[in-house]
Amino acid sequence: MQGVGFRPFVYNLAQSLGLVGYVLNSSAGVHVDIEGDGVAIDRFLLQLRNNPPPLAQIESIEMEDCPAAGYSAFEIRESVDEPGRLAPVSPDVATCADCLRELQDPANRRFEYPFTNCTNCGPPYTITRAIPYDRPLTTMACFPMCADCLREYEDPSDRRFHAQPNACPVCGPSIRLSISEAQRLLHAGQIVAIKGFGGFHLVCDPFNEPAVRLLRERKKRSDKPYALMVRDVASAEKFCFVSAAEHAALTSIRRPIVILRRRPDCPLSEALAPGNNTLGLMLPYTPLHYLLFGGEFSALVMTSGNVSEEPIVTGNREAAQRLGAIADAFLFHNRDIHTRVDDSVSRIFAGSERVLRRSRGYAPHPVTLSFPVAAILACGEQLKNTFCLTKQHSAFLSQHIGDLQNWETFEFYRETLDRMQELFRIKPTVAAYDLHPEYLSTSFATHWRDATEHIGIQHHHAHIASCMAENGITGKVIGVAFDGTGYGTDGKIWGGEFLVANFAGFERRAHLRYVPLSGGDRAVLEPWRMALAYLLDTFGSRLDSLDLPLMHRIPAQKLRVVRPMIERRINTVDTSACGRLFDAVASIIGVRDEVNFEAQAAIELESRALAGIDDAYPFEISGEEIDVRPMIERIVRDVLARKPTGWIAASFHNTIAAIIIEVCSRLRSEDGINRVCLSGGTFQNVYLVERAVSSLRAKGFEVFLHSRVPPNDGGISLGQAVIANALLSR
């Protein structure tokens, strides 16, 4: 891992033990040649393994005995480029405690300097143009170090020894628009665009309701939650409940946005996350952020600097053009961002941190595989896209790209692919892709001329394979793949699937009963359409005799158009998707009839579910079909009886968990498989995961979840890659 201060660490360790030789960076890793007393060498190796620098992650150590070369001292040599070899570059990480102390010390020459960093912190990935990771190959190349910085850089006892982005106010990057002026504008209710590590943020005061609503209006983002940056953990605890595991995630060097349960007395604007009982909070991770909080702010809205559904903006000129209609002012700086990277998002469930959006702080660190892989490009999905490049035992997932629904995002996809291929020296000859014929990622893969082989991968098989690969599993598993959409091998839309799978193949052993999805994407935006489909499937013509509130909320004209579509199967496609079942239930019980961002209905349904409810609804299993019509009938009965929405929502979640337990138990009896992998966007639901996992483990199952790779479509590309590799091997 380059850019983590490993060479200075090796140098100082060798010096302290009286060893001679050299250390250098190469594009294949770090090379160390040491000579000296055998006991000292043993101590050197022990320290190398057990006490590396804070950011270092040693994947492997290879040793070879060589004839003595007669070195007279230990030195750091010039980096060596070995064509075709790869060495990972460190993700961007938060300001360390030492740099923060300097930032806040009036006697220090870096007092209030927004670009303070050292070998233990800073932005390697977003500023790196090529490897080896040396200053001339970063966007810091245009800032020659002053005498003081150069002295630090060359001093083995200094923590900035060979720190490539080393800089100070005399020689380093600078900002345009003062911190104090930015604070004044934010206090006045203005929206300020601020340039960070991997792109711009749009920032406003979360206590100022008009400012938050104005940002929503200008950014064209109706209800989707905004992320917040808070001054410190104490501030976070004023707004949300923070467990020990959530505290650890918030304060980690990666500094993700952590999804936390909102306190009932939280004083922040309701417009931050309408209809949601959670908030996404993160702590400052750059010196600039800490300086912003030097005023009176305890929290700031810190959302991606983009127009809705477009990639985050990185360049000053680009920001002025694309964010000019949103921001009232800009805080620019003159350090170029080579690679755009958005904030990561995580949530704690089943006792561990689970990444939901893998980007800053995580990417491009590879997932290490327990088996060798060919040079493969896995192109990912249409939504929450990432792609994956594999080589040797490493799978490099891109940072979060986003939804491939416009030209700007697709250009970001291609730009990142070109850069990662160059950075990690990977030239794939195989392209893996989703079976959906209309996905942009599929079209790209099938027309990609660099590939000599193109391999289509079923969506839900890729979900399960992704979970297997992350957890080091190679044998068969019971795979539960629950999400909102995925193209099935029968041409229908899957998403409520039970598979018996390994990397080489899968059997679909059970699924939710098909219902018609009417009007394509309109059904995703209008959950009442799915509600109507499930109601008609359950009640048929009896539906007319039910005085269901839903049927009064939906305009009669819309019902007259959509109902015949469903009944006559006109402009419909059958779906077994669990995500669409969540949509249907949310609409039936009055939580949400229309949405304006993905999974909004499911998120609000989870928010409504009451704790401490153990009731569940009935369901039936016939062959491979899981029939939820008995559940729908009982839910309707409870709605008509005016049972509390929170009780119904909890009982529904309990039923989905009960379905998982029952089907997995049947498959274990039939196949003797005890390992269960849970994957798909539905398993971002903490209520469902905790209920399902605890029940499965109580029955003796080994349960595997995602942690470093998202369970949603952001993790699909890893599964595509390992499946393609298995098919090539076979």
Tell me: pLDDT of 81 over 90: no
Residue type, 542: R
- What does the H/E/C string look like for 169-226? CCCCCCEECCHHHHHHHHHCCCCEEEECCCCEEEEECCCCHHHHHHHHHHHCCCCCCC
DSSP E strands: which ranges in 411-476? 430-434, 453-457
pLDDT per residue as tens digits for the range 471-498: 999 999 999 999 999 999 999 999 999 9
pLDDT confidence tier of residue 592, bands split at 50, 70 and 90: very high
Strands 299-304 vs 200-204: parallel, antiparallel or unpaired: antiparallel
Tell me phi and psi for residue 723, to 5 degrees: -65, -45
Q: Of 38, 318, 329, which Cα lies nearest the Cα of 199?
A: 318
End-to-end CA distance of the chain: 32
Q: Which of 168, 161, 167 is nearest to 4 (CA)?
A: 161
Local confidence band at 6 (pLDDT 50, 70, 90 cut-offs): confident
Domain with CATH 3.30.420.360 in the chain: 352-465+712-729
Asked if 493 and 577 count as a contact pair (C-beta separation under 8 A), the reply is yes
Q: What is the pLDDT of residues 540-582, one digit of tens each?
A: 999 999 999 999 999 999 999 999 999 999 999 999 999 999 9
- Lowest mean pLDDT, pick from 42-56, 157-171, 174-188: 42-56
Q: In this predicted model, what pLDDT tens digit does every residue of 411-433 receive, in sequence order?
A: 999 999 999 998 888 999 999 99
Distance, in Å, from the CA atom of 26 to the CA atom of 5, rounded to the nearest integer, reads 14
pLDDT tens, position by position, 597-624: 999 999 999 999 999 999 999 999 999 9
- Judge whether residue 134 has pLDDT over 90: no
Q: How far is CA 476 from the centre of its chain?
A: 26
pLDDT of residue 564: 96
**Residue ranges, CATH 3.30.420.40, the chain:** 512-704
CATH of 175-347, one of 3.40.30.10, 3.10.450.50, 3.90.870.40, 3.40.50.620: 3.90.870.40
Note the pLDDT tens digit of each residue in 638-684: 999 999 999 999 999 999 999 999 999 999 999 999 999 999 999 99
> Helices 645-671 and 578-588: crossing angle, nearest 10°?
160
Owner of token pair 């491939």: 404
Cβ contact 653:691 at 8 Å: yes
Distance CA 680, CA 8 (A): 42
694 compared with 309, residue with greater pLDDT = 694
- Whole-number pLDDT of residue 2: 58
Cα separation, 465 vs 303, in Å, equals 32
Instruction: Name the strand (E) or helix (H) holding 367.
Output: strand 367-378
Instruction: Report how far residue 708's alpha carbon sits from residue 353's, in angstroms, rounded to the nearest whole number.
Output: 8
User: CA-CA distance, 477 to 702, in Å (whole number)?
Assistant: 10
Enclosing H/E stretch for 6: helix 6-16
Of all helices (H) and strands (E), which one includes residue 726? helix 716-729
For 21, 86, 132, the CA distances from 82, given in Å and listed in that order, are 20, 8, 9
Task: Report helix, strand or coil for 559.
Answer: helix
pLDDT band for position 86 (cuts 50, 70, 90): low
Q: What angle do CA 49, 55, 56 make, to 5 degrees?
A: 30
pLDDT at site 19: 93
What is the architecture of the domain spanning 512-704? 2-Layer Sandwich (3.30)
Quick: pLDDT tens for 247-279.
Answer: 999 999 999 999 999 999 999 988 999 989 999
| Averaged pLDDT score across all residues of the chain | 94
- Output 717 or 162, whichever has higher pLDDT: 717
pLDDT classification of 284: cutoffs 50, 70, 90: very high
Largest CA distance in the chain: 95
Please name which of 68, 43, 48 lies closest in space to residue 58, comparing C-alpha atoms: 48
Other beta carbons within 10 angstroms of residue 14's beta carbon come to 27
Say if residue 527 is preceded by a cis peptide, omega within 30 of 0: no
CB-based burial, 458-467: b 16+ in 10 Å, e otherwise? bbbbbbbbbb
DSSP-assigned letters across all residues of 261-324: EBPTT--S-GGGSTT-SEEEEE---SHHHHHHTTSS-SEEEEEESSSTTSPPP-SHHHHHHHST
- Could you tell me the fold of the domain covering 352-465+712-729? Nucleotidyltransferase; domain 5 (3.30.420)
Kindly report which listed range (82-91, 302-311, 341-350, 442-451) carries the lowest average pLDDT score.
82-91
Tell me which amino acid residue 618 is.
P
Q: Which residue has the tokens 């959670």?
A: 278
Residue 264 CA: distances (Å) to CA of 268, 271, 276, 279:
11, 15, 12, 12
Average pLDDT over residues 134-148: 96
3 pLDDT tier (thresholds 50, 70, 90): low
For residue 410, give the H/E element and its range: helix 407-424
Burial class (CB in 10 A: 0-12, 13-18, 19+), 504: middle
**Does domain 6-76 bear CATH number 3.40.50.1980?**
no
Question: For residue range 384-406, what is the model confidence (pLDDT) as tens digits?
Answer: 999 999 999 999 999 999 999 88
pTM of the predicted structure, to 2 decimals = 0.93
- Which among 522, 476, 517, 515 has a CA at the least distance from the CA of 499? 476
In percent, the amount of the chain with pLDDT more than 70 equals 98
Per the DSSP assignment, residues forming a β-bridge with 18 are none
Q: Give pLDDT, residue 87.
A: 64
Question: Are β-strands 74-76 and 20-26 bridged in parallel, bridged antiparallel, or unpaired?
Answer: parallel
> Residue 27's pLDDT is what?
61
What order do you get walking across the sheet with 388-397 strand by strand? 388-397, 367-378, 430-434, 453-457
131: helix, coil or strand? coil
Name the token pair of 595. 């949405």
Peptide bond into 88 cis (omega under 30): no
